[in-house]
Amino acid sequence: LQALHATEFASLNGDVRLLTPDAVEGWSDLVHCPSQRLLDRLVRRYAETKDSGSFLLRNLKDSERMQLLITLAFNPEPLVLQSFPSDEGWPFAKYLGACGRMVAVNYVGEELWSYFNAPWEKRVDLAWQLMEIAEQLTNNDFEFALYLLDVSFDNFAVGPRDGKVIIVDAENVLVADKRLIRQNKPENWDVWYESKFDDCDKEACLSFSKEILCARVTVDHNYYAICQNLLSRHATWRGTSGGLLHDPPPEIAKDGRLEALLDECANPKKRYGRFQAAKELREYLAQLSNNVR
């Protein structure tokens, strides 16, 4: 903390009233394109202070303010967990507390990859939950879109008792304020944006433009990330391929609908095909899930 007073962070010390977008924009994925509404939320919910609940930066002690700023710049994950907490229904691990730069979160359970060869019924339920997470992070009442920039089998875990899927790595989350986008109306802000399929030979590839995620209201990035990297035949992980929904029962394979929806969701052939495929896939997986329960 002593060293920080000789850095650019010190300019935000003293009697600065609010954390503003122009001061922190681009520091990390979380604030790649911050709105005042998002920053007020981050400050108000910052837990490492005795006087939490205020969005005024000057209500924090100097050391608390410095800790908040350096966390925002170098390890924004705890701020994501605090601002979008699990006890309000967000699909993240529960933030328990911190000691300096060490953060404690609750242990959720085994990582998603350990369910790669689980019974078909289990994998269908997990796939449905993953698509529901994609939907919740994209469209919610708060009008914040949380885009997952790193989606792989080890970034999700499954609760052993309730079977619930939780995001356990929230370091690379970009938050776009849809309310601000509607207000500022950047170029093409209301044109639906389709992510480009990335056919790479490595694990967990994603192609995206942070600038576009920040400037469009309707974006299919989360559906694309989950379908391509976790569910479809394009997903590869530690030498396994075929995705979480590999080797469906004969009657489902013969029907062909699941494979068609997964393909269209990962690599759409029709314009806006991914949006429609994601919606139908959620409904179809829910139906399959109910049938096997």
Residues 95 and 217 in one domain: no
- Residues 121-174: tens digit of each pLDDT: 999 999 999 999 999 999 999 999 999 999 999 999 999 999 999 999 999 999
Query: What average pLDDT does this structure show over 182-190?
Result: 96
Residue 79 lies in a domain: yes
- The total number of structural domains in the chain stands at 2
Can you give the pLDDT at residue 14? 64
For residue 11, is pLDDT > 50? Answer: yes
Can you give the pLDDT at residue 48? 82
Residues 17 and 68 in one domain: yes
Question: Considering the entire predicted model, what is its pTM?
Answer: 0.94
Residues 94 and 126 in one domain: no
Residue 122 lies in a domain: yes
Instruction: Tell me whether residue 33 is exposed, middle or buried, using C-beta atoms within 10 angstroms of its C-beta: 0 to 12, 13 to 18, 19 or more.
Output: buried
Amino acid 131 reads: M
Beta strands in the chain (DSSP E): 95-99, 102-105, 110-111, 144-148, 156-158, 165-167, 173-177, 236-237, 240-241
Residues 205 and 222 in one domain: yes
For residue 99, is pLDDT > 90? Answer: no
Can you give the pLDDT at residue 293? 47
- Residues 50-60: tens digit of each pLDDT: 766 778 887 88
Provide the domain limits for residue 241: 113-144+179-292
Q: Residues 6 or more apart from 244 whose CB is under 8 A from it?
A: 112, 115, 116, 123, 126, 127, 130, 230, 231, 235
Overall size of the chain counted in residues: 293
- CA 283 to CA 125: how far, in whole Å? 12
Residues 58 and 135 in one domain: no
Query: What average pLDDT does this structure show over 207-218?
Result: 94
Q: Of the candidates 105, 134, 158, which is a domain's last residue?
A: 105
For residue 291, is pLDDT > 70? Answer: no
Residues 73 and 191 in one domain: no
Cβ(67)–Cβ(52) below 8 Å? no
- CA 77 to CA 167: how far, in whole Å? 11
